[in-house]
Structure 1
Amino acid sequence: MALIDLHCHLDLYPDPEGVVAEAVERGVYILSVTTTPSAFKGTRKLASPSSRIRTSLGLHPEIASAREHELALFESLLPQTDYVGEVGLDGSRPRRISLDRQASILMEILILCARAGGRTITLHSRGAEKLVLDVLETEPLAGLPILHWFTGTKRQIDRAVERGCWFSVGPAMLSSERGRKAVATMPMERVLPETDGPFGEANGITLMPWQAMDIVPELSRLWRMNMTEVYRQIANNFVFLLGAAPRYDHGSSIRWS
């Protein structure tokens, strides 16, 4: 059984080296997201290129306005990775005031991705689901979007599917009725596992990367499939995602095998 975590903040665990060592031993496929461009190089050094861990270049919307000056660094680092994230918009009460600025920054990031040939992009959308889709539609060549912890309406999910979006879903998301309702609406062939660790929790305990597949029992119920079929569906989704992701040659061996 493949272990897959498509959205995890490895550098923000209390003991990132220990988490990486265990993840490598278990053979977990991890997309390690970052919150600022300045964190990218240090986070990438946590794992060997020969491991199943890949590092994405991020500028988290919660701090994007304060770190807008790092966009130049983002642009310079972009050729070094196939993956962008965590980026997006946050419309929660404390950050709603900066949404216009966040949207401008996200647009600039998507333009940079399009100019670079496209990237696989993992996106935050809390409290701003519609606006994230609006911004994505302004730059269709930006790449392949993965909506992380997306709890939009059925109409918004249908719209995201039409745009070519995927969805990463974790145990923490499935612990709420709103999350389960959203996942039940998503096409099963577009669903991928995540933990959002160390922020994602289950029963008050921080989720580890190898626990992303703990979504399987709940998906089995939502999809009315046995767990073996759900594992197979998720594994097939991951393989298909890799085949669908933007392809270009930037002279480094950073793609998952």
Structure 2
Amino acid sequence: MIDLHVHLDLYPDPVAIAEECVKRDLFVLSVTTTPSAWPGTSALAGNAARIRTAIGLHPQIAQERHNELGLFEELLPKSRYVGEIGLDGAPELKATWNVQRRVFEEILGLCAAAGGRIMTIHSRRAATPVLEALASRHGAGVAVLHWFSGSRRELQRAIDQGCWFSVGPAMLNGEKGRAMAAMMPRDRILTESDGPFAQIDGRPLYPWDASAAETMLGSIWGLDAKDVESQLMENLRRLTTQLSS
């Protein structure tokens, strides 16, 4: 099972959640919202071979944390994964838009200078600006658009640009999310939970709830559980070898 986007450090008992991930033999990409959160979040993985920690600077707090870009650059050599980064075009964040763009563009530049990273990217109400920024920084690495919610046209552009996608139960619970997933290339999709932010039936999702996304993808693709798991594991293998190929 794969959870390519989860905020391990934001659960009430993150140590217990990390231990349960190890017991269940999950592949987990634990994302962070600030560079200063990375050392502590990374420590949650301990020696777990299948838990990775991404260095992030979330667009929703870029205004408050843009001064951590220096720390981001300092930490970048320590991880092949970056996230959560991106842009958020929600009306309540309009005043922070210019700072968001500057931070995102600088992060992409740092990733390119470092030889590229696997990046998990937030693009709520901002898919086109995110895709434009990615197009201007081809060397930044492999973009995985987390919980994509743009238009069909924007999705097609993302596909044409070679983007990957991570989808979770909360996204696939809606008709639009399922329609989007059906358009995405089967060999560029991975599962996520986005816990503890994402919820279903009023409860936060956990990394192992990504299994529900597998079931939903099976319904969309017309495949049984074994074939879905095989496809996703092959996708993960390809994704994690992208930068070394």
TM-score, structure 2 as length reference: 0.96
The AA in structure 2 aligned to 1:117 is G
3-state DSSP of counterpart to 1:84: strand
Superposition pairs of residues 91-130 of structure 1, within 5 angstroms: 91-130=89-128
- In the TM superposition, what whole-angstrom CA distance separates every residue of 1:161-186 from its partner, at most 9, and x where no partner exists? 22221000000101112211211111
3-state DSSP of counterpart to 1:35: coil
CA distance in 1, matches of 2:35, 2:79: 12
The total of aligned residue pairs comes to 245
The AA in structure 2 aligned to 1:66 is E
Q: Which runs of 5+ in 1 are unaligned?
A: 249-257
Pairwise CA distance, 1:203: 1.8
Pairwise CA distance, 1:10: 0.2
Pairwise CA distance, 1:155: 1.9
- In the TM superposition, what whole-angstrom CA distance separates every residue of 1:220-248 from its partner, at most 9, and x where no partner exists? 2211222222221111111111121x239
Pairwise CA distance, 1:52: 1.0
The AA in structure 2 aligned to 1:229 is D
CA distance in 1, matches of 2:176, 2:118: 26
Pairwise CA distance, 1:207: 1.0
* Counterpart for residue 252 of structure 1: none
3-state DSSP of counterpart to 1:76: helix
Superposition pairs of residues 1-257 of structure 1, within 5 angstroms: 3-244=1-242, 246-247=243-244
- In the TM superposition, what whole-angstrom CA distance separates every residue of 1:107-155 from its partner, at most 9, and x where no partner exists? 0000000000100000000111111101111101000010000022222
User: After TM superposition, which residue ranges in structure 1, 4 or more long, deviate above 4 angstroms?
Assistant: none
3-state DSSP of counterpart to 1:30: strand
Pairwise CA distance, 1:103: 1.1
The AA in structure 1 aligned to 2:111 is C
CA distance in 1, matches of 2:180, 2:203: 23
The AA in structure 2 aligned to 1:191 is I
Report if aligned partners of 2:35, 2:72 keep a CA contact under 8 Å in 1.
Answer: yes
Q: CA RMSD in A?
A: 1.3
CA distance in 1, matches of 2:197, 2:96: 23
Q: Which runs of 5+ in 2 are unaligned?
A: none
Pairwise CA distance, 1:58: 0.2
Report if aligned partners of 2:118, 2:143 keep a CA contact under 8 Å in 1.
Answer: yes
- In the TM superposition, what whole-angstrom CA distance separates every residue of 1:64-102 from its partner, at most 9, and x where no partner exists? 121110001101110111110000001112112322221
The AA in structure 1 aligned to 2:233 is A
Report if aligned partners of 2:22, 2:48 keep a CA contact under 8 Å in 1.
Answer: no
From the two aligned structures, give the one with the greater helix fraction: 2
CA distance in 1, matches of 2:125, 2:22: 34
CA distance in 1, matches of 2:201, 2:229: 23
The AA in structure 2 aligned to 1:127 is R
